[in-house]
Amino acid sequence: MRGDEAPPPATSPTPSVHLTGTSRWLGGEAFADITKLRELSAKYERLAAKIQARVARLHTKIERLRHQATLLREKAGKVLERIPEYQQEMAQHERTIQASTSQQTTHTVGSDITGLHYRIRQLQQKIVDLQHRARRIEHRAAVKTQQSAVLKVKADRLNDQVRAAQVEAQNYQKRADRLQMATESEAAPYAAAPPPPPPPPPPETAPATHADANETPGEHDQL
């Protein structure tokens, strides 16, 4: 470089570097946060759907138990419906015994009377057996009703968990939407700004010739 050649002027860094870095930060960091929020929202939505499926199975089981309890109660009712028939037959036998006893002149009891007493005892035993059977069936129905009530409480608790998970999913979704809107509004000026003009080229200097490079200071003074 020649001694009288001026160095090129120092150019300041163009603003495009700052704008590009800022927009890249806004796009990268904010996009990561938005993605994380949407991921959490999807996680809670998936959890809510899983619990809802479990609640649906519980409700199906509850209705099955209730139906079984209803069938058992109807069966117990049909068993008890047979008792009045036996009671009427017992009453008829007692009237027959009373009529036969009132017509007898001796204290001797015939076989017809003892046979009727035996038949009455058999009918009483059948009535007791039917009552015991009906109570046993009703107890089974009560057990199934209790089981359905326990499952109903469990299903209600799971429904509360579903609502809580849905609320969390909505909150994360809203936060992601708000962050996306804020990021877009912040990055809008950088995206809409026109590209900066290119820096001015350095001043051109005349290239030194071979003769100028070989001449000495003495020769220049002599000229």
Structural contact between residues 187 and 27, judged by C-beta atoms closer than 8 angstroms: yes
pLDDT at 43: 92
Instruction: Identify the H or E element spanning 183.
Output: helix 111-192
Least confident piece of the model among 5-9, 112-116, 163-167: 5-9
* CATH ID of 22-189, from 1.10.1740, 3.30.1450, 1.10.287, 3.10.450: 1.10.287
The structure tokens listed for 129 are 């057996």
Backbone phi and psi for residue 168, each to the nearest 5 degrees, phi listed first: -65, -45
Confidence check: pLDDT of 6 > 70: no
What token pair was written down for 57? Answer: 């199975």
Token pair 């519980």 is at which residue?
58
pLDDT attached to residue 161? 93
Indicate the residue type of 20: T
Tokens of 10: 């120092």
- Model confidence at 31, pLDDT cuts 50, 70, 90, reads confident
Question: In residues, how long is the chain?
Answer: 223
| Beta carbons of 151 and 58 less than 8 angstroms apart | yes
Q: pLDDT tens digit string along 12-29?
A: 444 444 444 444 445 567
The model's pLDDT over 93-143, given as tens digits with 9 standing for 90+, comes to 898 888 877 766 566 667 778 888 899 999 999 999 999 999 999 999 999
Sketch the domain layout of the chain as residue ranges. Answer: 22-189
Return the closest-CA partner of residue 185 out of 46, 30, 76: 30
pLDDT of amino acid 188: 62
Mean pLDDT, residues 58-70: 96
Residue 204: pLDDT over 70: no
Site of tokens 């609502």: 163
The structure's pTM equals 0.60
pLDDT at residue 18, as a whole number = 42
Q: Residue 27: what pLDDT?
A: 54
Q: How does DSSP classify residue 215? A: -
pLDDT above 70 for 84: yes
Task: Specify the pLDDT at position 14.
Answer: 44
